[in-house]
């Protein structure tokens, strides 16, 4: 198991300056004040050795085995340790700080509507808890609804000034406030935007779309055949250089955390409009590059580290494609006589071309040679090329997969009988997403009520419904992802009222619990804490004052020990990558970013603050929990 990310939640001061390394980011783990029992000792976990992969893995091509080796080597070489930190710049080259705003010069610009959140009393926007529990009436896809969607997901949320410096904050968090993530929309014709189906880049500073290409109408209709009317696609890409400028070789980790943040932000903004989200994950990186217009690239050297003018480092890496569609409860199909059609009889009418990856790939290949408008602006005059970033990015490219597991389009609803909805402030979902900030310090005194703590963890579960799932994870935003949860939460509880200080563990995927118990220290108690809801798989492992340990493991940052609780995300790393392929590596970070965005929103919705901590000691954190080297 590997550390994937860390968090701190408590009563804190929000970011008012451009930031420490931990502000505006969701990332590695957060731990706090450590006085553990004498039986606990730090050790360095052995790095995962790709040669230990079982010999029965012969079904993977040798090229994939080599790619897996690159991925695991990258992960091990970019760990921070108590004795040394991962390789990065020795100082910040402010003259070459990347421009955080990509523009496509020459593309047609369509300004979007600015639609600020309304107060709860006006009843125009749903309250925060309602978005997660009740299906909102779906808004039709119009220029106005698309404007609100981007305004609530990837837009600027505030401008800050200190002295002569001014910078922006955004709805979606980013490590170091560097924002490597770019957003795109692919849609049917929309009055006010385009008379033809189109691909457009979202420009957050201007809150505008840059129309990069118009698509043939018959092509769009064939691609989206079988989808509900009003469906459209959102694409995300990353510019690694923006993160590498500050963080060096760890930038690939942080960029993918930020992709997860953006997926979470997209999911919540869509839910408030009555839209569902599903990640279309059978398509490969090649197909994404074509449909998003970022396929024409210059090669980047993967050898060593060099400084110079390398404009190819500003190219965009295609990450993912998300389907958005109006929520609906499909009517029971009838035959000509009015009788119900049994399951399996209606397969042809349920055909969705996006569920056939080979067909979708063929369609997308027809876009090769499409005319793309606009030239990307330059972001820096000079660059530092960290070759290992581009080596792992190449190794983690996803191939086209043909399992055809198209996500469930049915309406999904959550049972709220076990949730403590009274803990939330009277805020709309839109108000919460717009007020989200990263805390820069916490007071170490505030005590969080136990029911608030439990409610936050209930929302962090992919599914806590006692009913049978209709197609995977039920809770927003996790049902956007097509895989079962691979991340769990190790919690360092400091000031939760009526809850003993100590290390707790939240099992987010029940099928992992047995192997988790076997992998962790034998002396752990695995005791259900008092008052914990029966559906919440939370366990107290050990009672201890963990404040100093949490701070220590978070690169000596006091905020991890001054919070009500901090946490580290632990990934089911080896099996996830071995079973699916090296392309699953960035997706583990996506999951951590989605979870991190949810934790940010929950904290603000209950009246406290949160921050992600990008600097943490991977192996030392593992040594607090694990008794061996299998994870």
- Residue 216 has a CB neighbour count (10 Å cut-off) of 13
Which candidate, 200, 394, 388, places its Cα nearest to that of 286?
394
CB 293 within 8 A of CB 212: yes
Which candidate, 520, 477, 495, places its Cα nearest to that of 275?
477
Residues paired with 518 in a beta bridge: none
**Radius of gyration of the chain, Cα coordinates, nearest whole angstrom:** 23
Residue 624 φ/ψ region, left for φ over 0, alpha for ψ in the -120 to 50 degree band, beta for the rest: alpha
Q: Which residues of the chain have pLDDT under 70?
A: 1-5, 13-62, 328-353, 355, 404-415, 465-472, 628-631
Q: Which helix (H) or strand (E) holds 601?
A: helix 584-606
CB 442 within 8 A of CB 547: no
Residue range 390-403, pLDDT digits in tens: 999 999 999 999 87
pTM of the model: 0.90
CB 317 within 8 A of CB 240: yes
Query: Dmax over Cα atoms in the chain, in whole Å?
Result: 75
For residue 516, which phi and psi values (nearest 5 degrees)?
A: -65, -45
Question: What pLDDT, on a 0 to 100 scale, did the predictor assign at position 408?
Answer: 57
Distance CA 84, CA 551 (A): 17
Sequence-ordered list of residues with C-beta below 8 angstroms from that of 539, at least 6 positions apart, any chain: 504, 505, 507, 525, 526, 527, 528, 529
Question: What pLDDT, on a 0 to 100 scale, did the predictor assign at position 420?
Answer: 84
Question: What pLDDT, on a 0 to 100 scale, did the predictor assign at position 532?
Answer: 96
Distance CA 170, CA 153 (A): 9
Residue 84 φ/ψ region, left for φ over 0, alpha for ψ in the -120 to 50 degree band, beta for the rest: beta
Q: How do beta strands 502-506 and 538-543 pair?
A: antiparallel
Distance CA 190, CA 172 (A): 25
CB 618 within 8 A of CB 80: yes
Distance CA 397, CA 320 (A): 11
Residues in the chain: 631
Torsion of CA 513, 516, 517, 519, to 10 degrees: 160
Residue range 90-119, pLDDT digits in tens: 899 999 999 999 999 999 999 999 999 999
DSSP states of 310-356: -GGGGPPEEEEEEEEEE---PPPPB-TTSPBPPTTTTTTTT--GGG-
- Give the SS3 label for residue 513: helix
Place of tokens 């959140």: 117
Q: At what angle do helices 584-606 and 573-580 cross, to 10 degrees?
A: 130
Sign of the Cα pseudo-torsion (22, 26, 31, 32, in order): positive
Distance CA 2, CA 223 (A): 38
DSSP states of 357-394: HHHHHHHHHTTTT-----EEPP--SSEEEEHHHHHHHH
Count, in order, helices (H) and strands (E) of the chain: 16, 23
Distance CA 351, CA 564 (A): 49
Q: Which helix (H) or strand (E) holds 458?
A: helix 450-460
CB 452 within 8 A of CB 423: yes
The CA angle 72-1-181, to the nearest 5 degrees, is 60
């Amino acid at each position: 198991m590997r550390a994937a990310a860390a968090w701190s939640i408590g009563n804190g001061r929000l970011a008012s300056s451009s930031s420490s390394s931990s502000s505006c980011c969701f990332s590695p783990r957060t731990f706090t004040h450590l006085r553990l029992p004498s039986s606990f000792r730090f050790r360095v976990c052995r790095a995962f050795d790709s040669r230990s992969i079982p010999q029965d893995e012969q079904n993977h091509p040798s090229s994939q085995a080599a790619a897996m080796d690159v991925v695991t080597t990258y992960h091990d070489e970019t760990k921070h340790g108590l004795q040394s930190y991962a390789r990065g710049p020795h100082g910040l080259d402010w003259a070459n700080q990347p421009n955080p705003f990509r523009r496509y010069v020459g593309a047609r610009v369509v300004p979007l509507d600015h639609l600020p959140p309304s107060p709860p009393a006006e009843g125009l926007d749903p309250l925060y808890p309602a978005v997660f529990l009740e299906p909102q009436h779906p808004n039709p896809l119009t220029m106005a609804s698309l404007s609100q969607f981007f305004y609530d997901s990837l837009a600027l949320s505030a401008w800050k000034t200190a002295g002569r410096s001014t910078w922006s904050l955004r709805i979606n968090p980013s490590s170091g406030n560097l924002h490597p993530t770019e957003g795109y929309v692919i849609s049917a014709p929309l009055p006010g935007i385009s008379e033809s189906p189109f691909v457009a880049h979202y420009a957050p500073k201007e809150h505008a779309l840059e129309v990069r290409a118009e698509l043939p109408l018959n092509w769009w209709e064939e691609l989206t055949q079988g989808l509900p009317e009003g469906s459209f696609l959102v694409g995300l890409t990353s510019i690694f250089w923006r993160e590498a400028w500050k963080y060096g070789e760890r930038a690939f980790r942080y960029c993918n955390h930020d992709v997860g943040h953006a997926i979470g932000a997209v999911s919540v903004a869509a839910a408030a409009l009555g839209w569902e989200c599903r990640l279309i994950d059978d398509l490969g990186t090649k197909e994404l590059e074509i449909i998003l217009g970022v396929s024409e690239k210059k090669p980047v050297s993967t050898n060593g580290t060099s400084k110079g003018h390398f404009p190819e480092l500003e190219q965009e890496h295609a990450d993912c494609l998300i389907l958005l569609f109006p929520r609906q409860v499909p009517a029971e199909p009838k035959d000509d006589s009015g009788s119900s059609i049994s399951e399996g009889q209606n397969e042809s009418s349920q055909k969705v071309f996006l569920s056939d990856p080979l067909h979708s790939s063929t369609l997308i290949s027809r876009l090769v040679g499409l005319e793309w408008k606009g030239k990307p602006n330059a972001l820096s005059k000079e660059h530092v090329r960290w070759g290992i970033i581009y080596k792992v990015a190449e190794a983690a490219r996803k191939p086209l997969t043909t399992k055809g597991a198209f996500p469930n389009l049915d309406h999904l609803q959550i049972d709220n009988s076990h949730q403590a909805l009274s803990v939330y402030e009277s805020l709309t979902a839109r108000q919460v997403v717009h007020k989200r900030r990263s805390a820069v310090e916490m007071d170490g005194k505030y005590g969080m009520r136990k029911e608030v703590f439990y409610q936050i963890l209930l929302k962090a579960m992919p599914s806590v419904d006692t009913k049978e799932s209709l197609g995977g994870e039920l809770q927003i935003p996790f049902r956007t992802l097509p895989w079962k949860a691979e991340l769990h939460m190790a919690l360092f509880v400091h000031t939760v009222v009526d809850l003993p200080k100590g290390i707790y563990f939240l099992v987010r995927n029940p099928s992992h619990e047995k192997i988790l118990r076997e992998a962790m220290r034998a002396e752990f108690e695995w005791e259900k804490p008092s008052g914990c809801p029966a559906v919440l798989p939370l366990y107290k492992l050990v009672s201890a004052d963990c404040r100093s340990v949490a701070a220590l493991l978070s690169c000596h940052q006091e905020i991890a020990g001054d919070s009500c609780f901090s946490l580290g995300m632990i990934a089911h790393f080896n099996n996830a990558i071995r079973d699916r392929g090296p392309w699953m590596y960035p997706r583990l970070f996506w999951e951590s970013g989605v979870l991190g965005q949810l934790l940010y929103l929950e904290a603000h919705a209950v009246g406290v603050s949160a921050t992600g901590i990008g600097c943490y000691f991977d192996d030392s954190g593992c040594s607090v929990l694990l008794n061996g080297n299998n994870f």
